[in-house]
Amino acid sequence: MPAPLVVMKFGGSSVAGAERIKRVARRIVRERARGSELVVVVSAMGDTTDELLALAAAITDEPDARELDVLLATGEHQSATLMSMALQSLGVPAISLTGPQAGITTDGRYGKARIAGIDPRRVRAELAAGKVVIVAGFQGMSVAALDGLEATEPASAVHTAEITTLGRGGSDTTAVALAAQLGADRCQIYTDVKGIYSADPRIVADARQLDVVGYEEMMELAHQGAQVMQVRAVELGWVNDVVIEVLSSFEDAPGTQIREDPLVEQRNKVRGIAHDRNVAKVTLVDVPDQPGVARSVFGPLAEQGINVDMIVQNVGHGGATDLSFTIPRVELAKAKRILEPLIRDLGFRDMTTDSAVAKVSIVGAGIHNAPGYAARMFGTLADAGINIEMISTSEIRITTIIAEDRVEEAVRSLHAAFQLEQPETVEAASALAG
Protein backbone atom coordinates (compact mmCIF):
# COMPACT_ATOMS: atom_id res chain seq x y z
CA MET A 1 0.00 0.00 0.00
CA PRO A 2 1.47 3.39 -0.93
CA ALA A 3 1.97 5.92 1.84
CA PRO A 4 -1.10 8.10 2.36
CA LEU A 5 -0.67 11.67 1.09
CA VAL A 6 -1.79 14.40 3.48
CA VAL A 7 -2.03 18.12 2.71
CA MET A 8 -1.70 20.22 5.88
CA LYS A 9 -2.34 23.97 5.86
CA PHE A 10 -1.24 26.30 8.65
CA GLY A 11 -2.62 29.84 8.87
CA GLY A 12 -0.86 33.04 9.85
CA SER A 13 -1.48 32.83 13.60
CA SER A 14 -0.14 29.25 13.61
CA VAL A 15 3.21 30.40 12.21
CA ALA A 16 3.48 33.79 13.95
CA GLY A 17 7.10 33.77 15.09
CA ALA A 18 9.92 31.29 15.51
CA GLU A 19 8.44 29.50 18.53
CA ARG A 20 5.13 28.77 16.84
CA ILE A 21 6.88 27.67 13.65
CA LYS A 22 8.94 25.21 15.68
CA ARG A 23 5.80 23.96 17.41
CA VAL A 24 4.05 23.41 14.09
CA ALA A 25 7.18 21.66 12.79
CA ARG A 26 6.97 19.20 15.69
CA ARG A 27 3.33 18.56 14.81
CA ILE A 28 4.32 17.89 11.19
CA VAL A 29 7.00 15.47 12.37
CA ARG A 30 4.37 13.56 14.37
CA GLU A 31 2.17 13.28 11.29
CA ARG A 32 5.13 12.09 9.24
CA ALA A 33 5.92 9.47 11.86
CA ARG A 34 2.57 7.88 10.94
CA GLY A 35 4.09 7.13 7.55
CA SER A 36 2.36 9.85 5.51
CA GLU A 37 3.78 11.77 2.59
CA LEU A 38 3.22 15.43 3.41
CA VAL A 39 2.56 18.63 1.50
CA VAL A 40 2.39 21.59 3.90
CA VAL A 41 0.84 24.91 2.84
CA VAL A 42 1.66 27.96 4.95
CA SER A 43 0.30 31.49 5.17
CA ALA A 44 2.41 34.54 5.99
CA MET A 45 3.47 34.89 9.64
CA GLY A 46 0.96 36.64 11.91
CA ASP A 47 0.47 40.24 10.88
CA THR A 48 3.01 40.21 8.05
CA THR A 49 0.44 40.81 5.34
CA ASP A 50 -1.03 43.77 7.20
CA GLU A 51 2.44 45.20 7.81
CA LEU A 52 3.29 44.93 4.12
CA LEU A 53 -0.01 46.59 3.20
CA ALA A 54 0.83 49.41 5.63
CA LEU A 55 4.23 49.86 3.98
CA ALA A 56 2.60 50.12 0.56
CA ALA A 57 0.05 52.57 1.97
CA ALA A 58 2.89 54.73 3.29
CA ILE A 59 4.20 54.96 -0.27
CA THR A 60 1.00 55.50 -2.22
CA ASP A 61 -2.78 55.58 -1.84
CA GLU A 62 -3.27 53.44 -4.91
CA PRO A 63 -0.62 50.74 -5.07
CA ASP A 64 -0.36 48.97 -8.41
CA ALA A 65 -2.03 45.56 -8.18
CA ARG A 66 0.88 43.74 -9.83
CA GLU A 67 3.47 45.27 -7.50
CA LEU A 68 1.28 44.67 -4.46
CA ASP A 69 1.05 40.98 -5.35
CA VAL A 70 4.83 40.58 -5.54
CA LEU A 71 5.13 42.45 -2.24
CA LEU A 72 2.51 40.39 -0.40
CA ALA A 73 3.76 37.07 -1.78
CA THR A 74 7.05 37.59 0.07
CA GLY A 75 5.21 36.96 3.35
CA GLU A 76 4.48 33.36 2.37
CA HIS A 77 7.96 32.89 0.89
CA GLN A 78 9.39 33.80 4.29
CA SER A 79 7.18 31.52 6.38
CA ALA A 80 7.69 28.62 3.94
CA THR A 81 11.49 28.83 4.14
CA LEU A 82 11.42 29.12 7.93
CA MET A 83 9.13 26.10 8.22
CA SER A 84 11.44 24.13 5.97
CA MET A 85 14.44 25.11 8.12
CA ALA A 86 12.53 24.11 11.28
CA LEU A 87 11.79 20.67 9.86
CA GLN A 88 15.37 20.19 8.70
CA SER A 89 16.62 21.11 12.17
CA LEU A 90 14.45 18.24 13.47
CA GLY A 91 16.18 15.89 11.04
CA VAL A 92 13.33 15.75 8.51
CA PRO A 93 14.22 16.38 4.83
CA ALA A 94 12.14 19.32 3.62
CA ILE A 95 12.05 21.89 0.85
CA SER A 96 10.06 25.07 0.41
CA LEU A 97 8.50 25.94 -2.93
CA THR A 98 7.02 29.25 -4.03
CA GLY A 99 3.61 29.10 -5.72
CA PRO A 100 5.20 29.22 -9.18
CA GLN A 101 7.75 26.57 -8.21
CA ALA A 102 4.87 24.38 -7.02
CA GLY A 103 3.40 24.66 -10.51
CA ILE A 104 0.35 26.65 -9.47
CA THR A 105 -0.88 28.77 -12.37
CA THR A 106 -3.60 31.39 -12.10
CA ASP A 107 -5.87 33.41 -14.35
CA GLY A 108 -3.63 36.44 -13.79
CA ARG A 109 -6.10 38.72 -11.99
CA TYR A 110 -3.79 40.44 -9.53
CA GLY A 111 -4.99 40.45 -5.95
CA LYS A 112 -7.89 38.08 -6.58
CA ALA A 113 -6.57 35.43 -8.94
CA ARG A 114 -8.21 32.07 -9.34
CA ILE A 115 -6.15 28.94 -9.70
CA ALA A 116 -6.17 27.93 -13.37
CA GLY A 117 -4.22 24.73 -13.05
CA ILE A 118 -1.50 22.89 -11.15
CA ASP A 119 1.46 21.18 -12.79
CA PRO A 120 2.37 18.80 -9.98
CA ARG A 121 5.66 17.52 -11.39
CA ARG A 122 8.01 19.37 -9.09
CA VAL A 123 5.95 18.60 -5.98
CA ARG A 124 5.80 14.92 -6.94
CA ALA A 125 9.54 14.84 -7.66
CA GLU A 126 10.33 16.32 -4.24
CA LEU A 127 7.93 13.91 -2.50
CA ALA A 128 9.54 11.03 -4.37
CA ALA A 129 12.90 12.28 -3.07
CA GLY A 130 11.56 11.72 0.44
CA LYS A 131 10.98 15.35 1.36
CA VAL A 132 8.21 17.16 3.15
CA VAL A 133 7.17 19.77 0.59
CA ILE A 134 6.35 23.20 2.03
CA VAL A 135 4.32 25.32 -0.39
CA ALA A 136 3.93 29.09 -0.02
CA GLY A 137 0.18 29.60 0.06
CA PHE A 138 -1.92 32.41 -1.38
CA GLN A 139 -0.07 32.67 -4.69
CA GLY A 140 0.49 31.35 -8.14
CA MET A 141 1.96 32.25 -11.46
CA SER A 142 0.55 33.93 -14.51
CA VAL A 143 2.47 34.88 -17.61
CA ALA A 144 3.24 38.44 -18.66
CA ALA A 145 2.10 39.38 -22.13
CA LEU A 146 5.00 41.31 -23.64
CA ASP A 147 5.60 42.43 -27.17
CA GLY A 148 8.54 40.60 -28.64
CA LEU A 149 8.67 38.00 -25.91
CA GLU A 150 6.97 34.68 -26.49
CA ALA A 151 5.74 33.26 -23.23
CA THR A 152 6.19 29.72 -24.48
CA GLU A 153 9.80 30.25 -25.48
CA PRO A 154 11.80 28.09 -23.07
CA ALA A 155 14.49 30.58 -22.14
CA SER A 156 11.98 33.29 -21.41
CA ALA A 157 9.41 31.24 -19.51
CA VAL A 158 10.99 32.12 -16.20
CA HIS A 159 11.25 35.79 -16.71
CA THR A 160 7.77 36.29 -18.13
CA ALA A 161 6.36 34.50 -15.09
CA GLU A 162 4.38 36.87 -12.89
CA ILE A 163 3.40 36.39 -9.25
CA THR A 164 -0.33 36.66 -8.60
CA THR A 165 -2.07 36.30 -5.27
CA LEU A 166 -5.39 34.65 -4.52
CA GLY A 167 -6.90 37.20 -2.14
CA ARG A 168 -7.43 37.07 1.62
CA GLY A 169 -7.44 33.54 2.95
CA GLY A 170 -6.09 32.29 -0.35
CA SER A 171 -3.84 29.76 1.35
CA ASP A 172 -6.93 27.66 2.08
CA THR A 173 -7.56 27.55 -1.64
CA THR A 174 -3.93 26.59 -2.31
CA ALA A 175 -4.30 23.66 0.10
CA VAL A 176 -7.58 22.37 -1.27
CA ALA A 177 -6.45 22.77 -4.90
CA LEU A 178 -3.23 20.86 -4.19
CA ALA A 179 -5.19 18.15 -2.37
CA ALA A 180 -7.53 17.83 -5.36
CA GLN A 181 -4.73 17.81 -7.96
CA LEU A 182 -2.53 15.37 -6.05
CA GLY A 183 -5.42 13.10 -5.07
CA ALA A 184 -4.49 13.55 -1.42
CA ASP A 185 -6.00 11.24 1.13
CA ARG A 186 -6.61 14.06 3.59
CA CYS A 187 -6.72 17.85 3.48
CA GLN A 188 -6.23 19.41 6.90
CA ILE A 189 -6.71 23.12 7.61
CA TYR A 190 -5.00 23.95 10.90
CA THR A 191 -6.21 27.15 12.58
CA ASP A 192 -6.28 28.87 15.95
CA VAL A 193 -9.71 27.39 16.72
CA LYS A 194 -10.58 23.75 17.24
CA GLY A 195 -13.07 23.52 14.40
CA ILE A 196 -16.38 24.90 13.21
CA TYR A 197 -18.72 25.95 16.02
CA SER A 198 -22.45 26.45 16.31
CA ALA A 199 -21.62 30.12 16.97
CA ASP A 200 -18.57 32.20 17.81
CA PRO A 201 -17.42 30.73 21.16
CA ARG A 202 -16.13 34.13 22.23
CA ILE A 203 -19.76 35.28 22.24
CA VAL A 204 -21.67 32.14 23.12
CA ALA A 205 -20.13 30.34 26.07
CA ASP A 206 -21.87 27.03 25.35
CA ALA A 207 -21.29 27.04 21.59
CA ARG A 208 -20.67 23.50 20.40
CA GLN A 209 -18.05 22.23 18.01
CA LEU A 210 -19.61 20.45 15.03
CA ASP A 211 -18.26 17.07 13.89
CA VAL A 212 -19.42 17.39 10.30
CA VAL A 213 -20.60 20.35 8.24
CA GLY A 214 -21.85 20.05 4.66
CA TYR A 215 -20.02 21.99 1.93
CA GLU A 216 -23.06 24.17 1.27
CA GLU A 217 -23.57 24.93 4.94
CA MET A 218 -19.90 25.80 5.33
CA MET A 219 -20.03 28.13 2.34
CA GLU A 220 -22.97 29.99 3.86
CA LEU A 221 -21.31 30.12 7.27
CA ALA A 222 -18.08 31.43 5.74
CA HIS A 223 -19.92 33.89 3.56
CA GLN A 224 -21.94 35.15 6.50
CA GLY A 225 -18.94 35.94 8.63
CA ALA A 226 -17.48 32.73 10.07
CA GLN A 227 -13.82 33.46 9.33
CA VAL A 228 -12.42 29.98 9.71
CA MET A 229 -12.36 29.08 6.00
CA GLN A 230 -12.26 30.98 2.73
CA VAL A 231 -15.51 30.55 0.78
CA ARG A 232 -13.69 29.74 -2.45
CA ALA A 233 -11.68 26.98 -0.82
CA VAL A 234 -14.89 25.31 0.39
CA GLU A 235 -16.38 25.64 -3.09
CA LEU A 236 -13.27 24.06 -4.62
CA GLY A 237 -13.46 21.21 -2.11
CA TRP A 238 -17.11 20.68 -2.97
CA VAL A 239 -16.49 20.60 -6.74
CA ASN A 240 -13.56 18.20 -6.35
CA ASP A 241 -15.06 16.18 -3.50
CA VAL A 242 -12.12 16.89 -1.17
CA VAL A 243 -12.92 16.13 2.45
CA ILE A 244 -11.57 19.10 4.41
CA GLU A 245 -10.72 18.86 8.11
CA VAL A 246 -10.57 22.03 10.18
CA LEU A 247 -8.57 21.54 13.37
CA SER A 248 -6.40 23.27 15.95
CA SER A 249 -2.69 23.95 15.41
CA PHE A 250 -2.14 24.03 19.13
CA GLU A 251 -4.14 21.09 20.48
CA ASP A 252 -4.26 17.48 19.48
CA ALA A 253 -8.03 17.20 19.27
CA PRO A 254 -10.52 16.10 16.65
CA GLY A 255 -11.67 18.93 14.41
CA THR A 256 -14.61 19.44 12.10
CA GLN A 257 -14.97 17.68 8.77
CA ILE A 258 -16.37 19.62 5.84
CA ARG A 259 -17.79 17.09 3.44
CA GLU A 260 -20.83 15.83 1.58
CA ASP A 261 -23.10 15.16 4.53
CA PRO A 262 -25.45 12.23 4.02
CA LEU A 263 -27.32 13.11 7.19
CA VAL A 264 -28.25 16.61 6.05
CA GLU A 265 -31.83 15.75 5.21
CA GLN A 266 -32.28 13.83 8.44
CA ARG A 267 -30.63 16.51 10.54
CA ASN A 268 -32.92 19.07 9.03
CA LYS A 269 -32.04 21.69 11.57
CA VAL A 270 -30.19 24.89 12.20
CA ARG A 271 -26.46 24.10 12.41
CA GLY A 272 -24.99 27.43 13.33
CA ILE A 273 -25.39 31.13 13.96
CA ALA A 274 -23.07 33.36 11.93
CA HIS A 275 -22.53 37.06 12.37
CA ASP A 276 -20.55 39.72 10.54
CA ARG A 277 -19.75 43.26 11.65
CA ASN A 278 -18.04 44.31 8.41
CA VAL A 279 -21.34 45.63 7.05
CA ALA A 280 -22.74 49.00 6.09
CA LYS A 281 -26.22 49.77 4.85
CA VAL A 282 -26.95 52.24 2.08
CA THR A 283 -30.47 53.49 1.34
CA LEU A 284 -31.36 55.47 -1.75
CA VAL A 285 -34.56 57.41 -0.99
CA ASP A 286 -37.31 57.99 -3.55
CA VAL A 287 -35.61 56.26 -6.42
CA PRO A 288 -37.69 56.69 -9.62
CA ASP A 289 -39.58 53.45 -10.15
CA GLN A 290 -38.31 52.88 -13.69
CA PRO A 291 -36.59 50.07 -15.58
CA GLY A 292 -32.79 50.32 -15.63
CA VAL A 293 -32.36 52.18 -12.38
CA ALA A 294 -30.94 49.18 -10.52
CA ARG A 295 -28.38 48.68 -13.24
CA SER A 296 -27.39 52.35 -13.07
CA VAL A 297 -26.75 51.96 -9.34
CA PHE A 298 -25.13 48.53 -9.12
CA GLY A 299 -23.22 48.64 -12.39
CA PRO A 300 -20.76 51.35 -11.27
CA LEU A 301 -20.32 49.69 -7.85
CA ALA A 302 -19.47 46.36 -9.50
CA GLU A 303 -17.03 48.03 -11.88
CA GLN A 304 -15.16 49.42 -8.87
CA GLY A 305 -15.03 45.99 -7.26
CA ILE A 306 -17.53 46.65 -4.46
CA ASN A 307 -19.45 43.53 -3.50
CA VAL A 308 -23.09 44.32 -2.87
CA ASP A 309 -24.54 41.70 -0.55
CA MET A 310 -28.21 42.06 0.43
CA ILE A 311 -30.57 44.17 -1.67
CA VAL A 312 -34.09 45.17 -0.59
CA GLN A 313 -36.42 47.30 -2.63
CA ASN A 314 -39.50 48.51 -0.84
CA VAL A 315 -42.90 48.73 -2.46
CA GLY A 316 -43.17 51.78 -4.66
CA HIS A 317 -45.18 54.75 -3.43
CA GLY A 318 -46.21 57.44 -5.95
CA GLY A 319 -43.83 56.35 -8.72
CA ALA A 320 -40.76 56.23 -6.43
CA THR A 321 -39.26 53.55 -4.25
CA ASP A 322 -36.60 53.15 -1.52
CA LEU A 323 -33.67 50.94 -2.43
CA SER A 324 -31.52 49.55 0.41
CA PHE A 325 -28.44 47.35 0.16
CA THR A 326 -25.46 46.28 2.20
CA ILE A 327 -21.76 46.42 1.34
CA PRO A 328 -18.55 45.66 3.29
CA ARG A 329 -18.12 48.49 5.80
CA VAL A 330 -14.57 49.13 4.62
CA GLU A 331 -15.95 50.01 1.18
CA LEU A 332 -18.48 52.59 2.40
CA ALA A 333 -16.40 55.72 1.70
CA LYS A 334 -15.60 54.50 -1.79
CA ALA A 335 -19.25 53.61 -2.47
CA LYS A 336 -20.39 57.08 -1.40
CA ARG A 337 -17.91 58.68 -3.78
CA ILE A 338 -19.28 56.55 -6.61
CA LEU A 339 -22.96 57.08 -5.78
CA GLU A 340 -23.10 60.78 -4.91
CA PRO A 341 -22.85 62.01 -8.52
CA LEU A 342 -25.69 59.64 -9.39
CA ILE A 343 -28.16 61.25 -6.98
CA ARG A 344 -28.86 64.08 -9.39
CA ASP A 345 -28.36 62.04 -12.58
CA LEU A 346 -30.87 59.40 -11.58
CA GLY A 347 -33.23 61.69 -9.66
CA PHE A 348 -33.05 60.20 -6.13
CA ARG A 349 -34.26 62.38 -3.34
CA ASP A 350 -31.51 61.41 -0.93
CA MET A 351 -28.92 58.82 0.11
CA THR A 352 -28.57 57.68 3.74
CA THR A 353 -25.91 55.36 5.09
CA ASP A 354 -25.52 53.43 8.32
CA SER A 355 -22.27 51.75 9.30
CA ALA A 356 -23.47 50.71 12.77
CA VAL A 357 -25.25 47.60 11.55
CA ALA A 358 -24.36 43.91 11.53
CA LYS A 359 -25.53 40.71 9.89
CA VAL A 360 -26.85 37.77 11.89
CA SER A 361 -27.73 34.55 10.12
CA ILE A 362 -29.04 31.11 10.93
CA VAL A 363 -27.62 28.42 8.67
CA GLY A 364 -28.70 24.82 8.15
CA ALA A 365 -29.29 22.58 5.18
CA GLY A 366 -32.82 21.71 6.31
CA ILE A 367 -34.11 25.25 6.68
CA HIS A 368 -35.95 25.44 3.39
CA ASN A 369 -38.11 22.49 4.33
CA ALA A 370 -39.32 24.02 7.56
CA PRO A 371 -40.97 27.42 7.44
CA GLY A 372 -41.16 27.40 11.23
CA TYR A 373 -37.52 28.43 11.43
CA ALA A 374 -38.07 31.91 10.02
CA ALA A 375 -40.86 32.56 12.47
CA ARG A 376 -38.80 31.32 15.37
CA MET A 377 -35.85 33.51 14.35
CA PHE A 378 -37.89 36.69 13.98
CA GLY A 379 -39.85 35.96 17.15
CA THR A 380 -36.69 35.42 19.16
CA LEU A 381 -35.22 38.75 18.01
CA ALA A 382 -38.56 40.50 18.70
CA ASP A 383 -38.71 39.04 22.22
CA ALA A 384 -35.24 40.48 22.83
CA GLY A 385 -36.42 43.87 21.57
CA ILE A 386 -34.05 43.77 18.59
CA ASN A 387 -35.32 45.52 15.48
CA ILE A 388 -34.79 43.80 12.12
CA GLU A 389 -33.80 46.27 9.41
CA MET A 390 -33.42 43.96 6.45
CA ILE A 391 -34.01 40.26 5.71
CA SER A 392 -32.68 37.95 3.05
CA THR A 393 -32.96 34.21 2.66
CA SER A 394 -31.41 31.36 0.70
CA GLU A 395 -32.19 27.68 0.60
CA ILE A 396 -30.19 27.02 3.72
CA ARG A 397 -29.94 30.41 5.43
CA ILE A 398 -31.94 33.29 6.86
CA THR A 399 -30.04 36.55 7.35
CA THR A 400 -31.10 39.70 9.18
CA ILE A 401 -29.55 43.11 9.46
CA ILE A 402 -29.74 44.58 12.96
CA ALA A 403 -28.04 47.34 14.95
CA GLU A 404 -24.42 46.45 15.57
CA ASP A 405 -24.62 47.05 19.33
CA ARG A 406 -27.21 44.28 19.64
CA VAL A 407 -25.32 41.64 17.70
CA GLU A 408 -23.91 39.62 20.61
CA GLU A 409 -27.28 39.51 22.31
CA ALA A 410 -28.91 38.40 19.06
CA VAL A 411 -26.39 35.59 18.54
CA ARG A 412 -26.84 34.34 22.11
CA SER A 413 -30.64 34.47 21.94
CA LEU A 414 -30.76 32.59 18.65
CA HIS A 415 -28.24 29.99 19.83
CA ALA A 416 -30.47 29.29 22.80
CA ALA A 417 -33.74 29.40 20.85
CA PHE A 418 -32.51 26.74 18.42
CA GLN A 419 -31.00 24.67 21.27
CA LEU A 420 -27.61 24.58 19.59
CA GLU A 421 -25.87 23.91 22.89
CA GLN A 422 -27.32 20.39 22.86
CA PRO A 423 -25.41 17.46 21.39
CA GLU A 424 -26.41 16.75 17.83
CA THR A 425 -27.95 13.41 17.09
CA VAL A 426 -29.99 12.53 14.07
CA GLU A 427 -32.82 11.47 16.34
CA ALA A 428 -32.75 14.66 18.38
CA ALA A 429 -32.59 16.73 15.23
CA SER A 430 -35.57 14.93 13.75
CA ALA A 431 -37.50 15.39 16.95
CA LEU A 432 -36.68 19.08 16.97
CA ALA A 433 -37.72 19.48 13.36
CA GLY A 434 -40.91 17.58 13.97
Q: Which residues bind its own copies (CB under 8 A)?
A: 18, 21-22, 52, 55-56, 58-64, 66-68, 70-71, 73-74, 77-78, 80-82, 84-86, 88-89, 95-98, 100-103, 119, 121-122, 125-126, 128-129, 141, 144, 146-149, 152-162
Q: Are 405 and 358 in contact (CB under 8 A)?
A: no
Per DSSP, helices labelled H in 293-331 are 293-303
Q: How many Å apart are CA 136 and CA 76, to the nearest integer?
A: 5
* Comparison of 84 and 324: residue with beta carbon closer to its own copies: 84
For the CB of residue 176, give the shortest distance to its own copies in the complex, in Å. 20
Considering only CA atoms, which of 171, 176, 172 is closest in space to residue 241?
Answer: 176
For the CB of residue 173, give the shortest distance to its own copies in the complex, in Å. 18
The one-letter amino acid code at 87 reads L
For the CB of residue 116, give the shortest distance to its own copies in the complex, in Å. 13
For the CB of residue 404, give the shortest distance to its own copies in the complex, in Å. 33
The one-letter amino acid code at 406 reads R
For the CB of residue 107, give the shortest distance to its own copies in the complex, in Å. 16
* Comparison of 16 and 398: residue with beta carbon closer to its own copies: 16
* Comparison of 101 and 181: residue with beta carbon closer to its own copies: 101
Q: Are 225 and 400 in contact (CB under 8 A)?
A: no
Considering only CA atoms, which of 138, 256, 140 is closest in space to residue 207?
Answer: 256
* Comparison of 5 and 141: residue with beta carbon closer to its own copies: 141
**Phi, psi angle pair for 71, to nearest 5°:** -60, -50
* Comparison of 39 and 231: residue with beta carbon closer to its own copies: 39
Give the pairing type, strands 94-97 and 244-248. Answer: unpaired
* Comparison of 157 and 302: residue with beta carbon closer to its own copies: 157
Angle formed at CA 121 by CA 120 and CA 122, multiple of 5 degrees? 100
For the CB of residue 273, give the shortest distance to its own copies in the complex, in Å. 40
Helix axes 170-182, 121-128, angle to 10 degrees: 70
